[in-house]
Amino acid sequence: VSDSGASGLAQGVLEGDRRALARAITLVESTRPDHRRDAGALLDTLLSHTGNAMRIGVSGAPGAGKSTFIEAFGLHLVETKERRVAVLAVDPSSARGGGSILGDKTRMAALARDDRAFIRPSPSGGTLGGVARGTSDAMLVCEAAGFDTVIVETVGVGQSETAVDEMVDTFVLLVAPGAGDAIQGIKRGVTETADVVAVTKADGELHGSAQQAASEYADALRFLRRKYAAWAPMVLVTSALTGDGIDDVWDAVVRHHEVLASEGVLAARRREHAVHSFWARVREQLLSRLQDDVDAREQLGALEREVAAGQVSPTTAALQVTELA
Amino acid sequence: VSDSGASGLAQGVLEGDRRALARAITLVESTRPDHRRDAGALLDTLLSHTGNAMRIGVSGAPGAGKSTFIEAFGLHLVETKERRVAVLAVDPSSARGGGSILGDKTRMAALARDDRAFIRPSPSGGTLGGVARGTSDAMLVCEAAGFDTVIVETVGVGQSETAVDEMVDTFVLLVAPGAGDAIQGIKRGVTETADVVAVTKADGELHGSAQQAASEYADALRFLRRKYAAWAPMVLVTSALTGDGIDDVWDAVVRHHEVLASEGVLAARRREHAVHSFWARVREQLLSRLQDDVDAREQLGALEREVAAGQVSPTTAALQVTELA
State how far the Cα of A245 lies from the Cα of A198, in Å rounded to an integer: 9
- Does A316 contact B183 at a Cβ distance shorter than 8 Å? no
Does the pLDDT of residue B325 top 70, yes or no?
A: no
Cα B280 → chain centroid: 17
Q: What residues contact residue A253 under an 8 Å CB cut-off, 6+ apart? A: A54, A56, A170, A172, A196
- Does A217 contact B223 at a Cβ distance shorter than 8 Å? yes
- Does A224 contact B189 at a Cβ distance shorter than 8 Å? yes
Angle at A69 between CA A63 and CA A73, to 5 degrees: 170
pLDDT at residue B91, as a whole number: 74
Residue A284 sits at the chain B interface (C-beta within 8 Å): yes
pLDDT at residue A132, as a whole number: 86
Q: Spell out the alpha helix ranges (H) of chain B.
A: 3-14, 18-29, 33-46, 66-80, 92-95, 109-113, 128-144, 158-167, 182-185, 207-221, 246-262, 265-291, 294-308, 314-324
- Does B140 contact A225 at a Cβ distance shorter than 8 Å? no
State how far the Cα of A56 lies from the Cα of B86, in Å rounded to an integer: 44
Cα A5 → chain centroid: 29
pLDDT at residue B187, as a whole number: 52
Residue range B14-40: mean pLDDT, rounded: 93
Q: Which of B44, B136, B317 sits opposite A278 (nearest CB)?
A: B317
- Does A137 contact B315 at a Cβ distance shorter than 8 Å? yes
Residue A222 sits at the chain B interface (C-beta within 8 Å): yes
Does the pLDDT of residue B119 top 70, yes or no?
A: yes
Task: Confirm if B287 and B322 have CB atoms less than 8 A apart.
Answer: no
Count interface pairs A-B at CB distance under 8 A: 202
A77-123 pLDDT per residue, tens: 999 999 999 999 887 665 544 445 555 556 789 999 999 999 998 77
Report ipTM for this prediction: 0.88
- Does B286 contact A322 at a Cβ distance shorter than 8 Å? yes
- Does B319 contact A28 at a Cβ distance shorter than 8 Å? no
Task: Confirm if B72 and B151 have CB atoms less than 8 A apart.
Answer: no
Instruction: Residue A69: name the closest of A248, A299, A286 by CA.
Output: A248
Predicted confidence band of residue A158 (pLDDT cuts 50, 70, 90) = confident
A95-104 burial code (b ≥16 CB/10 A, e <16): beeeebbbbe
- Does A279 contact B304 at a Cβ distance shorter than 8 Å? yes
B171-227 pLDDT per residue, tens: 999 998 875 444 444 456 888 899 999 999 999 999 998 999 999 999 999 888 888
Give the residue from chain A lying closest to B314, CA to CA.
Answer: A278
A224-263 pLDDT per residue, tens: 888 898 999 999 999 999 999 999 999 999 999 999 999 9
Q: Mutation test of the interface with chain B: which of A137, A283, A321, choosing the one with the most B Cβ atoms within 10 A?
A: A283
Chain B CB contacts of A287 below 8 Å = 279, 282-283, 286
B140-157 burial code (b ≥16 CB/10 A, e <16): bbbbbbbbbbbbbbbbbb
Q: B109: distance to nearest CA of chain A, Å?
A: 31
Task: Confirm if B218 and B232 have CB atoms less than 8 A apart.
Answer: no
Q: Which of B41, B274, B325 sits opposite A307 (nearest CB)?
A: B274
Give the residue from chain A lying closest to B269, CA to CA.
Answer: A308
State how far the Cα of B239 lies from the Cα of B129, in Å rounded to an integer: 33
Task: Confirm if B58 and B25 have CB atoms less than 8 A apart.
Answer: no
Give the residue from chain A lying closest to B36, CA to CA.
Answer: A319
Transcribe A215-250 into DSSP letters: HHHHHHHTTBPPSBTTBPPEEEE--TTT-TTHHHHH
Measure the N-to-C terminal CA separation of chain B; round to a whole number of Å.
Answer: 31
Q: B79: distance to nearest CA of chain A, Å?
A: 32
Chain A CB contacts of B186 below 8 Å = 223
Angle at B178 between CA B172 and CA B179, to 5 degrees: 140
Instruction: Residue A165: name the closest of A227, A121, A232, A122 by CA.
Output: A227
A42-52 burial code (b ≥16 CB/10 A, e <16): bbbbbbebbee
State how far the Cα of B275 lies from the Cα of B126, in Å rounded to an integer: 22
